[in-house]
A and B are shown apart, each in its own frame.
Chain A
């Protein structure tokens, strides 16, 4: 299988001189399509920095990032990075980051609008995505009228709207109760397996672990473990 995303000896350092802090050191890994990869590690281990590098949100201080085999230039501009995110990457955030003034379907449609999809088709596409995630009946509701699990599924629908090949989720179950969290983790797992999307999930949540096809463990900015657990529990 060809890696959609590859990191070679990536390092991220914040600050300079005596105050410099190495958030990531010599990270080399490849993310495969159709897999749900879990990124685990204690607080401050560099999970979020790694997710940001993977998501073309943060330029690494060292090393090389390859997206679909193409090396990203070290001096890639912010607009070019935004264009890459728009074309290939979807994000799911811990606190959903839905637009509170937009209805559920409008939140999904906004992702289509950014991609300049035809306005006439945006509502239908958004509704199809919400339907897939079991939220068709909540489409006309504002985020404040949705439960945590429903909000996160709207966020997943929004992340999928652009048809990304990589989906990065930051603690997507942290704010959800047990059953809802499992439901969201299951939805992400299904996305990887049914749609071939490369899903990377940063999580502290042990409930998510059974859904991971692969588990990466970070400590002090270093990748200390990379394993593929047996699939029996998911």
Chain B
């Protein structure tokens, strides 16, 4: 390892680096520990965020200010039925500019080879403009206007037995034809979204023509969202009226907290943190114990405890920086690999920052035992 140019670094930085680099095997063990802790935390938190985004994806990708849902709805994937006449009642509320309908219902998809999969049929009112399939990579929205047309996501094409556009399948025993693909639209339930028109969705899922699942509300410019929401709630009665962001969060809460999926991921991330603390703690402590005579010498020379603590904390910080860099490299590979899978690992800049802070905290916590040890060091031991 390259020796530091001592004239450019403080004594504590120099000692920290040399203490680590002098015992390469132990340093490598520390780095591997930090690296895997970062990998574990990164992947688990990335999965958590990816799932959170997935669970609310449908809500996040509409242009509605408010969502009207059947009373008691907990998430966007599972809902009852709304009477479409409610749409006109909603339109009569001051501040409402437009109201659109959105269908969402589970259905059975019979594959060309005869197998069956569960799917979520999502029906848009293409004329409304508040919601439509996004990330379309093949085919066009206009193609959906055909009676049996559906669009699926490329990620699930294989699962649904679709090998080419134009292929016909059955949804709830009704003929359907795949006319386009979206990219990267995942579902938490693993029942792939099947996008179609509102009318087709009603047909596929045996809804009556006067029934829908959701009403999406667009407000007039300048309208007070809370006032309009309360007015809609009062006027429509037995429905729930949500701010779009609240409904998205409710969906995330439902799938990640109520089902325990989020807790499991958080627990695994916590496990990574604990493993990291233990490994860093053990290796740093071993390094510290090996160098106790040197710490005692520093103390005898008059170095305050803070000086000794800085040496140890900088060792922890160096381990954190190198371990984090290596760990994030592996996380990046996992994120790249997950891009083509039905399980997304999200890694926005904010999460990278959180992981960096967690890694530093993990290494600092790992350093605590060593700090405690050198704080109790007896400087007279240099004479023994």
Is the CB–CB distance between B302 and A52 below 8 Å?
no
Distance of B195 from chain A, by nearest CB (Å): 64
Chain A contact residues, majority secondary structure = helix
Question: Count of chain B residues with Cβ under 8 Å from any Cβ of A?
Answer: 29
Distance of A116 from chain B, by nearest CB (Å): 10
Question: Which of B15-23, B75-83, B264-272, B273-281 is near enough to bind chain A?
Answer: B15-23
Is the CB–CB distance between A93 and B383 below 8 Å?
yes
Question: Count of chain A residues with Cβ under 8 Å from any Cβ of B?
Answer: 37
In angstroms, Cα B297 to Cα A97, docked, is 7
In angstroms, Cα B299 to Cα A97, docked, is 12
Distance of B296 from chain A, by nearest CB (Å): 8
**A58 in contact (CB, < 8 A):** yes
Q: From known contacts A57-B380, A101-B15, A102-B15, infer whether A86 and B302 are also in contact, taking CB-CB under 8 Å.
A: yes
**A103 in contact (CB, < 8 A):** yes
Chain B contact residues, majority secondary structure = helix
**A87 in contact (CB, < 8 A):** yes
Residues of chain B contacted by A87 (CB below 8 angstroms): 302
Residues of chain B contacted by A217 (CB below 8 angstroms): none
Residues of chain A contacted by B15 (CB below 8 angstroms): 99, 101-102, 110
In angstroms, Cα B9 to Cα A79, docked, is 25
Residues of chain B contacted by A8 (CB below 8 angstroms): none
Residues of chain A contacted by B297 (CB below 8 angstroms): 93, 97, 99
**A123 in contact (CB, < 8 A):** yes
**A211 in contact (CB, < 8 A):** no
**A48 in contact (CB, < 8 A):** yes
**B7 in contact (CB, < 8 A):** yes
Contact of A122 among B7, B293, B300 (CB under 8 A): B7
In angstroms, Cα B301 to Cα A87, docked, is 10
Contact of A99 among B9, B294, B304 (CB under 8 A): B294
**A51 in contact (CB, < 8 A):** yes
Is the CB–CB distance between A48 and B10 below 8 Å?
no
Residues of chain B contacted by A123 (CB below 8 angstroms): 6-7
Is the CB–CB distance between B302 and A89 below 8 Å?
yes
**A204 in contact (CB, < 8 A):** no
- Chain A 117-133: CB-based contact to B (< 8 A → 1; otherwise 0): 00110110000000000
Q: From known contacts A57-B300, A83-B302, infer whether A106 and B293 are also in contact, taking CB-CB under 8 Å.
A: no
Q: From known contacts A57-B379, A58-B380, A109-B11, infer whether A114 and B303 are also in contact, taking CB-CB under 8 Å.
A: yes
In angstroms, Cα B14 to Cα A101, docked, is 9
Is the CB–CB distance between A113 and B19 below 8 Å?
no
**A85 in contact (CB, < 8 A):** yes
Is the CB–CB distance between B301 and A113 below 8 Å?
no
Is the CB–CB distance between B22 and A101 below 8 Å?
yes
Residues of chain B contacted by A114 (CB below 8 angstroms): 11, 298, 301-303, 307
In angstroms, Cα B345 to Cα A7, docked, is 70
Distance of B305 from chain A, by nearest CB (Å): 7
Is the CB–CB distance between B22 and A51 below 8 Å?
no
Distance of A76 from chain B, by nearest CB (Å): 14
In angstroms, Cα B378 to Cα A52, docked, is 12
Is the CB–CB distance between A106 and B14 below 8 Å?
yes
A-to-B contact residues, CB < 8 Å: 48, 51-52, 55, 57-58, 79, 82-87, 89, 91, 93-94, 97, 99-103, 105-106, 109-111, 113-114, 119-120, 122-123, 158, 162, 170
List 10 A-B residue pairs with CB atoms under 8 Å apart, sorted by A's residue number. Answer: A48-B383, A58-B380, A79-B305, A82-B304, A93-B297, A97-B382, A99-B18, A110-B298, A113-B10, A123-B6
**Other CB < 8 Å A-B pairs besides A82-B303, A114-B302, 4 of them?**
A82-B299, A85-B300, A86-B304, A102-B14
In order of increasing CB-CB distance, the 9 nearest A-B pairs are: A86-B302, A113-B11, A101-B18, A85-B302, A97-B297, A101-B22, A110-B11, A123-B7, A114-B303
